[in-house]
Structure 1
Amino acid sequence: MPLSSLTLPPSEPGTAPEALVVILHGWGSNAEDIAGLVPSLSALKHCWVNVPNGPLAHPYNPVGHMWYDLEDPQWPGLEASKTQLAEHLTQLSQSKGIPFSNLFILGFSQGGAMALDLGLSLAGAGIGVFSGYLHPALLAAAPLGTPMPPILLIHGLDDGIVPFRAAEQTRQFLESCGAAFDFHALSMGHEITPEALGVANRWLLQHWGSQDISQENRQENRQENRQENR
């Protein structure tokens, strides 16, 4: 069954879309909720943005969705969701005429884990992970030995839902694979703060940018966003 989703056109009329950005919500959230972040990301103003709902209903939130069942240690539904999401991305790419090489996948929490898992198998433009984690099967596959897109990791030092050690594990995995990534440890909990959005916006501008951004401003964004991996 196709995934339900919200599609947001470029916010500046008369501009040719440069990229396709897909944003994946966390466990128990939905497309409408996480789509509220889009106005805070000015880098997306010339992009098509798609926000899908996870295929499974959440057991406690009547309007919530999930990508798989976190309460079962076997995580039932994960592989089926990955297949559905891959089909969804292919359909989006074809319908918008935007290749995977111009695709960014962003995700929060469970959505961040999905973005990382699926994004590493695609020749995309980039992967952004907010408060995410690694799926065990992906961890067991390291090193992948294939080129990877740029990756952004943002995680709260005080995250009580997905502990910071999950971000450290992801960092170590990416290092073992030789991936190019930016790692940002922020003073926050399990959330996406204005500071986190600012980091993500600069990263998007660095790795893609908009048509009206001068070369000088692109260089400034690169300098602001540069941070040593740790």
Structure 2
Amino acid sequence: MSPTIEAISAMPNGEKPTYLLVMLHGWGANYQDFVPFAKMLNFPGFGYFFPNAPFEHFQVPGGRAWYALEENEFTGLATSRKLLLNWLTSLEASTGVPLDRTVMAGFSQGGAMTLDVGLTLPLAAICSFSGYLHYQPEFQDNKTFPPTMIIHGQQDPVVPIEAAKKAQDELTKIGVSVQYQEFMMGHEVQDPAIALFKQFIQDNLNFN
């Protein structure tokens, strides 16, 4: 069976959304991982989508992977890029919400996918939690990027803080507007990080 993107959604009060938030889980987790974000953020007029990575995790029962981190070749990355890009661009047809009112965020490997695919689209904003770069960004003439936030734990034992600093440096070099913030936390998303992310969304979508 060919890999696909499946997703669960949360549409508060069953209303038609004005904005969307797409949240990508990390390596070995699945699309249930960040469903609580919908209630934590509680934005008016927002619909929330939580896609499942297309590949089974090689070791974790029920876990998913965007690509094989256990291999140096990152097997599956090209497939996930294409699937995720196609899925994201299809959301407007099903929700009525355009990409410029859609926010994309991800955690760990999901953060890496966000800093990859998200920067190729005219999204309202993107955010990487505990993420990293899995590619070398290249400068492109007349290319515009969505506002970008990188949030990372100073005590992260899984993705070292140096990976976040490198991502900030490399993306800034090609013209990405990066808001960077470290917190005293590990490989996780604590309340202060969520509060900052919430403010970031409010600032870039111009609503209260």
Query: Shorter-chain-normalised TM-score: which range?
Result: over 0.9
* Pair 1:131 & 2:114 matched: no
User: Identity across aligned pairs (percent)?
Assistant: 34
Which secondary structure state, in structure 2, belongs to the residue aligned with residue 34 of structure 1? coil
Alignment partner, residue 142 of structure 1: 138
The Cα of 1:96 is off from its aligned counterpart by: 0.9
Q: C-alpha separation between the residues in 1 aligned to 2:68 and 2:119? A: 22
- Deviations, residues 188-222 of structure 1 (Å, cap 9, x unaligned): 01001111111111111111154xx3xxxxxxxxx
Q: What amino acid does structure 1 have at the position aligned with 2:179?
A: D
8 Å CA contact 1:12–1:46 kept in 2: the answer is no
8 Å CA contact 2:17–2:95 kept in 1: the answer is no
Matches within 5 A, 1:55-94: 55-94=54-93
Alignment partner, residue 22 of structure 1: 22
Alignment partner, residue 5 of structure 1: 7
- From 175, 178, 192, the equivalent of 1:181 is 178
The Cα of 1:13 is off from its aligned counterpart by: 5.7
Which secondary structure state, in structure 1, belongs to the residue aligned with residue 67 of structure 2? coil
8 Å CA contact 1:42–1:201 kept in 2: the answer is no
Q: Is the helix fraction higher in 1 or 2?
A: 1
Q: C-alpha separation between the residues in 2 aligned to 1:96 and 1:31? A: 19
The Cα of 1:37 is off from its aligned counterpart by: 2.3
Alignment partner, residue 117 of structure 1: 116
TM-score by length of structure 2 reads: 0.93
Q: C-alpha separation between the residues in 2 aligned to 1:31 and 1:179? A: 28
Alignment partner, residue 31 of structure 1: 31
Q: C-alpha separation between the residues in 1 aligned to 2:140 and 2:38? A: 32
The Cα of 1:42 is off from its aligned counterpart by: 2.7
The Cα of 1:113 is off from its aligned counterpart by: 0.4
Alignment partner, residue 194 of structure 1: 191
- Deviations, residues 25-56 of structure 1 (Å, cap 9, x unaligned): 0000011121122211133x311111000000
RMSD: 1.4
Q: C-alpha separation between the residues in 2 aligned to 1:206 and 1:19? A: 14
Q: C-alpha separation between the residues in 1 aligned to 2:96 and 2:206? A: 19
Q: C-alpha separation between the residues in 2 aligned to 1:6 and 1:65? A: 14
Q: C-alpha separation between the residues in 2 aligned to 1:209 and 1:176? A: 27
The Cα of 1:155 is off from its aligned counterpart by: 0.4
Q: C-alpha separation between the residues in 1 aligned to 2:140 and 2:35? A: 32
Q: C-alpha separation between the residues in 2 aligned to 1:127 and 1:104? A: 6
The Cα of 1:12 is off from its aligned counterpart by: 4.8
Number of equivalences? 205
The Cα of 1:97 is off from its aligned counterpart by: 1.4
Which secondary structure state, in structure 1, belongs to the residue aligned with residue 62 of structure 2? coil
TM-score by length of structure 1 reads: 0.85
* Pair 1:163 & 2:167 matched: no
Alignment partner, residue 40 of structure 2: 40
8 Å CA contact 1:6–1:50 kept in 2: the answer is yes
- Deviations, residues 159-185 of structure 1 (Å, cap 9, x unaligned): 110000001101101220122121101
Q: Which moved more, 1:23-32 or 1:144-153?
A: 144-153
The Cα of 1:150 is off from its aligned counterpart by: 0.3
- Deviations, residues 107-152 of structure 1 (Å, cap 9, x unaligned): 000000001100111011111110000112xx2x422341011001
- Deviations, residues 4-40 of structure 1 (Å, cap 9, x unaligned): 110111x2565x5221211000000011121122211
Q: C-alpha separation between the residues in 1 aligned to 2:104 and 2:121? A: 10
